[in-house]
Structure 1
Amino acid sequence: MGGKWKLPIINSICNGNRRFKEIERSIPGITTRMLSRELKEMVANKVLERTVISSSTVIIEYSPTDYCHSFGGIILQMIKWGKEHRQKIKNHNEE
């Protein structure tokens, strides 16, 4: 799960953005090429599932797998650590 873009991509998808352009629009600064590369890698690693929906035009949607949900607790711990770290730095700078 290394890299700059994986967590923002997962966050976007878990917040309801399932199609490529929706995901791309929800992440400022990510390029089309980078998003494509990251999605392919995350599908290959079973973090995301890619579904092709047949209709008059091909629609592709991405969704988190159970494996992806399994490290939700780790992400929450990282957020908690970040908040605590930010508070320690703020307290230190006020001294």
Structure 2
Amino acid sequence: MKVVKNEELPDKDMCAGSLRNVLDALYVLNGKWKLAIILSLVQAAKRFNEIQHELAGISPKVLAKELKDLELNDFIIRKVFPTTPVTIIYEASEYSHTLKNVLAELSNWGAQHRERIKQSMRKQS
């Protein structure tokens, strides 16, 4: 972690604005599954069962709700094809690609955290 010395602290208004921004982002992307669903669909468009299979542990009810929420917030596009039976494909919207840096940073942080936990467990053994 980079420590910067002699840097001025942000003022109260700047902190409040940053906090509002973070809370807005968390409100839209809340929950255990939304970012994972977006990441899955950024890699490739998928059908419902493909998403559920990739995200082991998510129930169909929760997946359906999360997909609706993501569609309402313009993160995914739901395409319906008039086949028998009807085929529905979910894909990431252009807007979801704006999360690319966030997802990369979360992935990096998650890997660092996992390694830290492993090292901590080794020390305890």
Output the TM-score relative to the length of structure 2. Answer: 0.65
> In 1, Cα distance between the equivalents of 2:39 and 2:76?
12
Identical-residue share of aligned pairs (%): 33
The residue number in structure 2 matching 1:69 is 97
**Pick aligned residue for 1:39 from 64, 67, 70:** 67
> In 2, Cα distance between the equivalents of 1:30 and 1:67?
24
1:6 offset after TM fit, Å? 1.0
1:30 aligns with 2:54: no
1:81 aligns with 2:109: yes
Unaligned runs of 5+ in 2: 1-28
Unaligned runs of 5+ in 1: none
Question: Which has the greater radius of gyration?
Answer: 2
Please tell me the residue identity of whatever aligns with 1:25: H
Please tell me the residue identity of whatever aligns with 1:65: S
Q: 1:82 to 1:58 in 2, by over 3 A?
A: same
Q: 1:57 to 1:85 in 2, by over 3 A?
A: closer
**Pick aligned residue for 2:38 from 3, 6, 10:** 10
Conserved 8 A contact 1:24-1:35: yes
> In 1, Cα distance between the equivalents of 2:112 and 2:65?
33
Q: 1:42 to 1:25 in 2, by over 3 A?
A: same
Query: What is the Cα-based RMSD across aligned positions, in Å?
Result: 2.2
> In 2, Cα distance between the equivalents of 1:53 and 1:63?
14
Output the TM-score relative to the length of structure 1. Answer: 0.82
> In 1, Cα distance between the equivalents of 2:59 and 2:116?
35
